[in-house]
Chain A
Amino acid sequence: MAGRNVKLLRVERSALADNDAVARALRRRFREAGVFVVNVIAAPGAGKTSLIVRTIEHLRGWARVGVLEGDIVGNLDAQRVLAAGAYDAVQINTGGQCHLDASMVEQALSRLLLEELDLLFIENVGNLICPTHWVLGEDLTVCLVSAAEGHDKPRKYPEVFAKSDAIVLNKIDLMELSGFDRSEFVRHIRALTEAPLFELSCRTGEGMAGWTEWLWARVRRPVGPMPMG
């Protein structure tokens, strides 16, 4: 009888709206627990774990730092951050998935002493592409690249730089050795974002103070001035 009654529905929503909703719930939970959350995104080997380790060392005695370690398999990084003085750490194995999503983080929280933390790092799976779409309820997204990877990374993966609240250039001790063109790197970063850029070396410790001070100011825990060292 009547023909097909086809109607156009305006939607205008992110295709990942479901993950976004879980992330919003996580954000409320982090707020209630009084925990500042930093999502660290980088390629494998750029120095995510090293940066977290160094930051924990700088904040020792000042902040209780927890870590969620995203990785395809294994728990090496969780052991590393615990050895460095992390208050608690939980390994999340994604079983092949190239990014963490909000429900993985939600599940991992049942194994983490969240209420007792001041700061929580989420080390995302080593990848500059996929993690950018999946918000996790974080206060800050930090994108880390190392001088050894080359200065063309902003041109190749602009979206992660554009989305990050801070950019860390690690392994500056290898800059010369790697033929890293700093001005080329900075020029392209600045086309994408006004976010602060921290140039440092987790090996020598150079530049670490600037990064930790900036982070500490964002965490704004009312426990006192920035520790030195």
Chain B
Amino acid sequence: MHELAVAEQLLKLVEEEAQRAGARRVVAVHLVLGEHSHIAEEALRFHFERLTSQGSPAEGAQLRVRREPMRFRCLECDADYAPPAGDWRCPRCGEVGKLLDPGDELRVESLEVEMANTAYEEEEEEKEKEGGRGWPGET
């Protein structure tokens, strides 16, 4: 299947986002995989780990996967439901509803990243510099 190709794309996105945010390291990737995305989670992890093992800011990052189901809406009952595989009937009335969400997403929700410096640390550094120049108003 195509987990290698997906892992390559995923890594590009993760590195791009991390760089844009000025992050030093990616700690975790929160990923949504629809139940119909046809992605084998283990294969994806394997390829992602292998691709990041040779020096990437995402090296060692955890892949946190949330699975999302396919969802239907029953117009009769005015209710949403997530049917078991292959049987799309509404659990209440038995009619087949209308598709709301095919559950085939491959989406990066968020990243946990380690930043180079905290704003607090920067402030402290600033103060130290200022301190070196003496108290304000003294000159």
Contacts and interface: CB of A to CB of B under 8 A. Distances in A.
A8 B136 CA distance: 37
B107 A187 contact: no
A16 B86 contact: no
Interface stretch (B49-57, B95-103, B126-134): B95-103
A6 interface: yes
Contact of A9 (B2, B6, B17, B99): B17
A83 interface: no
A156 B106 CA distance: 19
B102 A8 contact: no
Interface in A91-115: 97-99, 101
B21 A18 contact: no
Contact of B102 (A14, A16, A159): A159
A217 interface: no
B113 interface: yes
A10 B110 contact: yes
Nearest to A159: B104
B68 interface: no
Given A9-B23, A158-B36, A191 B13 contact: no
Given A17-B9, A19-B9, A162-B99, A12 B17 contact: no
Interface stretch (A67-75, A129-137, A175-183, A204-212): A129-137
B114 A98 contact: no
A156 B86 CA distance: 6
B8 to A, nearest CB: 8
A158 B6 contact: no
B38 to A, nearest CB: 5
A193 B2 CA distance: 26
A7 B2 contact: no
B111 interface: yes
B110 A11 contact: yes
Nearest to A152: B86
A18 B115 CA distance: 24
Nearest to B26: A9
B111 A2 contact: no
A164 to B, nearest CB: 11
Given A4-B114, A18-B12, A187-B96, A11 B109 contact: yes
A163 interface: yes
Contact of A192 (B2, B6, B37, B99): B99
Name the 6 nearest CB pairs between A and B, nearest first. A159-B104, A15-B106, A162-B102, A9-B111, A159-B102, A11-B108
6 contacts: A4-B114, A5-B114, A6-B113, A13-B107, A16-B9, A18-B12
